[in-house]
Every structure is written in C-alpha cells, then in structure tokens.
Amino acid sequence: MKAWLWRIAALVLILIISSSLALYYLLAKPLPIKDSQIYEIKAGVGSLSIANQFVQKGLIKNKKLLHVAVKLQPNWVPKVGKYQIDPDMSLLDVMALFHSGKAIVHKVTLVEGRTTKQYLLAMQEKGNIKMTLLNKSNEMIAETLGLEVQHAEGQFFADTYLYHDGDTDADILKQANKRLTDVLDEHWSKKQKNLPLKSKQQALILASIVEKETGVDYERPLIAGVFVNRLNKRMRLQTDPTVIYGLGEKFDGNIRRRHLRQKTPYNTYTIYGLPPTPIANVGEGAIKAALTPQKTKALYFVAQGDGTHKFSNTLRQHNAAVAKYQRFQRRADYQSTPKN
C-alpha cells in the first residue's frame, strides 16, 4: 500500500477514535444542572419527546445527543414513572435509570387497629394514590380485590408499604393482603393446641378484638388468654369494641347501656362466640397473641386509666376493680391507651 493511503487510513482511524471519545465524554460527563430535578415519563412518550424536554430543562444542549445514545442502545426502553435526576448524574446514568424503572418511591403506613375505611382515607390523604375503592362497601372491596373471603374488614396487614405515583389503593391493599396471608399462615402453623378457633379467619377475628382492646404489647397475650377462657367456658365475650363496630356511623364516641343491649351481629354482649368478621386490621403482635395466648385463670379485665388493665379471675374481683378504677375513682387524666 502506498504511503499516502496509510496516512489517510491513520487519519480516519484517529478521527473515529477522537469522535468516539468526544461522544463518550458528552454522554458520560455530569449533567449541566446545579439542583436535582424531578422528571416524569408518561405512557406513550418516546425518545423524541424526551430529547426535546431534556433540551428545555437544560439537561443537554443538543437533542441529537440523546438520539445517538438511543441508537447505541437499541434495547433501551424508558419506563413510566417519576424519577429524580441529580447533578452528578450523566446522560448515560439517566438513561439507565429510566430503563430500570426505579422511579421515586413513596411510603404509606397502615396503622394497627384501624378499619379498612380508615386505611382508604389515609391513602387518600397522600394525594398521589389513585383512589378506586373509597366508596365501595367491604363486600364490594373483597370482590374487587378477589379476596378469599366475602368481607374485606381485617384482611390487610398493618405495616408500611412502598408505592409509586399513580399506583392505586387496590395495588397497595393487595400487597397488604398478601402480607397478612403470609404472617397468618406462619403463626397458624405454630398455634397453641386445643384453641377454640376452627379457622384462620376466626384467629384473625380474635386478633382484631385483642388489637382494639389494648395498645400495650405485653398485654396482648394475656387479653387473648382471657377471651380464649371465655370462649372455652361458652361465656359471652362482652367486649366494647365489637359493639362499637356494630353500631358503625351511629356511634357518637360514647358507649351507653342501650348500646350493649342493641342487637347487631357484632354485639358480643348479646351473641355467643366470635362476631362474623374482624373488626379492624391488625399487626403481627395481635395475631401471635391470638394463636399463642398466655395461660391464665383470668376471665375479666378493666381499664385502669393509664392505658393498662386490671385482670380478675372472678366476677367479685372484677366488680371491685370496676368500682376502683372506673365507677367511683375515675382519674382526671383517664386514658384508654398508654402515653408515648
């Protein structure tokens, strides 16, 4: 080969290498921004729109740069969602982020002892969850989510859940139901022998009553033990939270004697055994307590006014405790749950 051809080939090679290095530099250098930005990829948006918006936002100077990068990565697919772009990120980093689908994640906490309606209201307050179930009954929610039971109350595990902008309340509740199923299965396999509970749902019903009766962790197994004793002796459970749940929106914050006589499927002052469904959603502590209750002779308990309870083996002892803590010497600072 003639010398001039070698020189041309070398020059072309140098130009190719130089161009490649320059292109890589442009793709790999930090973006020209000082502060983090939130960028949303909507359904159906392609690389052309993204390139134009990147130029408008000052992320790149020339939209062709993104087009070249896309051609170099033919399998690149931006996923729908909101992403945080930081100043130290390069265009290649941003493209990898969009392709990964690791959009901004939010948290919602579903608290123990709350109803499914209250869970939906908590999600609505977030403002970035698509609400589809808010006006549905518990029966309709159960059907919509494809639950194995006909009533959705108590079917969602109390925990903190992650979600993305635009996720639905149904998406989150499905997560919570799956988590509940897993935890309930685990503790059902370790349950105490000879419990008066015929199914996992009955265990969940008892757990929901325990959850509503106390916010004190160490009391849960003992309260469960009292209810197990009463079930074994075929005594009515006589627990106020079930009465309140049965009253629904009619309950004004004060439970009265007439409420204890009012017939509802949930009034454990008038029915024997457990109510037909849970009365709230629960955490692991209440489930564990219901399935491994503390051995006790106690059949009664009454709130002492500091968030804890006085337990009694006999009705005579219980009446004395009621007189002491509620009827005659009710504290000025009385509370049903402990202070934080």
Residues 189-217 have pLDDT tens digits of 999 999 999 999 999 999 999 999 988 89
Residue 174: give the domain boundaries. Answer: 105-184
Answer yes or no: do 233 and 309 share one domain. yes
Answer yes or no: do 52 and 132 share one domain. no
Answer yes or no: do 71 and 141 share one domain. no
CA distance 193 to 14: 81
Paired tokens of 217: 């962790």
Q: Is residue 56 part of a domain?
A: yes
Paired tokens of 272: 């024997």
Could you read off the pLDDT of 63-99 as tens digits, one per residue? 777 777 777 777 878 888 888 889 888 888 888 888 8
Q: Is the pTM of this model over 0.85?
A: no
Q: Distance of CA 338 to CAs 65, 113, 200, Å?
A: 61, 15, 30
Answer yes or no: do 239 and 317 share one domain. yes
Answer yes or no: do 216 and 229 share one domain. yes
Could you tell me which residues come within 8 angstroms of residue 126 by beta carbon, excluding any fewer than 6 positions away?
A: 106, 108
Q: Give the largest Cα separation in the chain, rounded.
A: 116
Domains held by the chain: number = 3
CA distance 152 to 232: 27
At 332, the pLDDT band (50, 70, 90 cuts) reads very low
Which one-letter DSSP state was computed for residue 234? Answer: T
Higher-confidence residue of 263 and 21: namely 263
Mean pLDDT of the chain: 85
Answer yes or no: do 244 and 176 share one domain. no
Paired tokens of 292: 């491994």
* Final residue belonging to a domain, choices 143, 158, 184: 184
Could you tell me which residues come within 8 angstroms of residue 284 by beta carbon, excluding any fewer than 6 positions away?
A: 157, 183, 187
CA distance 10 to 13: 5
Domain at 49, CATH number: 3.30.1490.480
Q: Is residue 340 part of a domain?
A: no
Closest to 114 (Cα-Cα) out of 202, 204, 212: 212
Q: Is residue 50 part of a domain?
A: yes
Paired tokens of 228: 């197990």
Paired tokens of 192: 């105490």
CB 261 within 8 A of CB 269: yes
Answer yes or no: do 87 and 111 share one domain. no
Answer yes or no: do 51 and 152 share one domain. no
Neighbour-count burial of 122, counting CB atoms closer than 10 A to its CB (0-12 exposed, 13-18 middle, 19+ buried): middle
Judged by average pLDDT, the poorest of 215-224, 225-234, 320-329 is 320-329
Answer yes or no: do 130 and 95 share one domain. no
Please determine, for residue 333, whether its predicted confidence score (pLDDT) is greater than 80.
no
